[in-house]
Amino acid sequence: FDRNGPGTSLKLPGTGQGGGPSPAVRPVTQSGRPITGFVRPSTQGGRPSTMEQAIRTPRTALTARPITSASGGYIRPGTASMLTNPDGPFINLSRLNLTKYAQKPKLAKALFEYIFHHENDIKNALDLAALATEHAQFKDWWWKVQIGKCYYRLGLYREAEKQFKSALKQQDMVDTFLYLAKVYLRLDQPVTALNLFKQGLERFPGEVTLICGIARIYEEMNNISSAAEYYKDVLKQDNTHVEAIACIGSNHFYSDQPEIALRFYRRLLQMGVYNCQLFNNLGLCCFYAQQYDMTLSSFERALFLAENEEETADVWYNLGHVAVGIGDLNLAYQCFKLTLVNNNDYAEAYNNLAVLEMRKGHTEQARALLQTASSLAPHMYEPHFNIAILSEKVGDLQRSYTAAQKSEEAFPGHVDTQQLLKHIYYFATLIFDRA
């Protein structure tokens, strides 16, 4: 399989055909992946390349939930839900004679779902499913899908693929398409997954989940313009689709159309979504769309609704931007400080504080803050670039050069970085070095 042709893999960020805003406009999560408008539990913003790196990066940087060593999130201690019999488990799995239950399809399906979803005992579930599909003489697609799910959970992607494909031959189901695409994405074959989704759309024209899947893949591949197209298709079918609205909204926001983004977010508000992030976004859109009457009240509401300190930090950070926008640098300083009080690992806030310190002329503080920012978020180009120009000004070309190189790595198309590198290179080496 072709793994790494440009634009065919999810593992190389920035391989998309562009069409999206650059990191100078839209913030990124890990090198090159722009932040999305909607966080799903399966969102992966870039992948760590080594185990060591995965351990050292913040635990929420790559998925929507804190990372664990294996998918241990699935394992639950079986206590809380045992309402029928508070003294012990409902069924003792090891005592079951799976062969017997596999003979009775009505019982077997319910039992399988219990084992798979409640007990989370994949091995036993797989045993039961294998016996049952044998009993059904391999003619029941449902069992095949379940076996595929078990394989997928166990990490046997190729086997899972076989089961899903054979199930698709028997019966077209949206579910099966989605599972198969999931397998392909796990195998890092987004183009195959796309083709599959398009096949699925031929069978089920206008199926929202399929279109949405296509859009997500395009978004992961950084092909923002195509993603936006498909999200729009989603909205044509289902105009209350929260994910599509949020994604299109954030796209508009980052492509200089805050007014339109504002309309999308207000639509979410009309639909009864009521949380901190939405009001945060509304506040930002209002400010950049010059609707000053709604701005601060939205942010106030967002602060009120914030459920944890990270969210509070986000709101204060954005308030800091508003303060910069009205030119009140003292207020901005306080806002960024409050961001850091609420979330000590907020690299962007460190960077912006450093810029403010620089404006006051406190070079050393600025440098320290920038160092913190760059070690917290090595994927952001701003702190590296700022360190580079700061050092260049005082004449420390060594440090400037290394920082500029990191900046170049984080955002390869950045013109100012390239000019700086060229300048340093010219200035530092070429002219006077004669062998």
For other proteins, the binding residues (CB under 8 A) are 22, 24-25, 27, 256, 288, 290, 292, 317, 321, 324-329, 348, 351-352, 354-355, 358-359, 382, 385-386, 389-391, 393-399, 401-402, 405, 414-416, 428-429, 431-433, 435
Are 11 and 188 in contact, with CB atoms under 8 Å apart? yes
Complex with other proteins: residue 100 or 393, whichever CB lies closer: 393
Give the residue with the Cβ less far from other proteins, 192 or 255: 255
CA 26 to CA 218: how far, in whole Å?
17
CA distance 253 to 73: 34
Q: CA–CA distance from 435 to each of 425, 426, 429, 430, 432 (Å)?
A: 17, 16, 12, 11, 9
Which candidate, 132, 137, 144, places its Cα nearest to that of 175?
Answer: 144
> Smallest distance from the beta carbon of 350 to other proteins, in angstroms?
10
* Least separation in angstroms between CB 418 and other proteins: 10
For residue 34, the 8-state DSSP code is B
Q: Which is nearer to other proteins, 124 or 352 (CB)?
A: 352
- Minimum CB–partner distance for residue 212 and other proteins (Å): 27
Helical H runs in 7-104?
Answer: 51-56, 98-102
Q: Are 278 and 265 in contact (CB under 8 A)?
A: yes
Q: Shortest distance, CB of residue 380 to other proteins, whole angstroms?
A: 10
Residue 352 and residue 381 in contact, taking contact as beta carbons nearer than 8 Å: no
Comparing CB distances to other proteins, the nearer of 220 and 314 is 314
Q: In 238-308, which ranges are continuous DSSP H helix?
A: 242-254, 258-270, 276-288, 292-305
Query: CA nearest 218: which of 239, 232, 205, 204?
Result: 232
Q: In the complex, what is the shortest distance from the CB of residue 243 to other proteins, in angstroms, rounded to a whole number? A: 22
Separation between Cα atoms, residue 183 and residue 160, nearest integer Å? 7
Q: How far is the CB of 58 from other proteins (least distance, A)?
A: 18
User: In this complex, which beta carbon is closest to other proteins, that of residue 33 or of residue 182?
Assistant: 33
The alpha carbon of 92 is separated from its chain's Cα centroid by a whole number of angstroms, namely 39
CB of 349 to other proteins, least distance (A): 9
Nearer to other proteins, 215 or 354 (CB): 354
Q: Which is nearest to 266 in space by CA: 297, 236, 245, 287? A: 245
Q: Rounded to the nearest whole angstrom, what is the least distance from the CB of residue 220 to other proteins in the complex?
A: 21
What burial class does residue 200 get, using C-beta atoms within 10 Å of its C-beta: 0-12 exposed, 13-18 middle, 19+ buried?
A: buried
Around Cβ 169, how many Cβ atoms within 10 Å?
A: 10
Q: How far is the CB of 251 from other proteins (least distance, A)?
A: 15
As a whole number of angstroms, the distance between CA 52 and CA 349 comes to 26
The smaller minimum CB distance to other proteins, of residues 55 and 394, is found at 394
Toward other proteins, which CB reaches closer, 83 or 430?
430
Which CB, 11 or 359, lies closer to other proteins?
Answer: 359
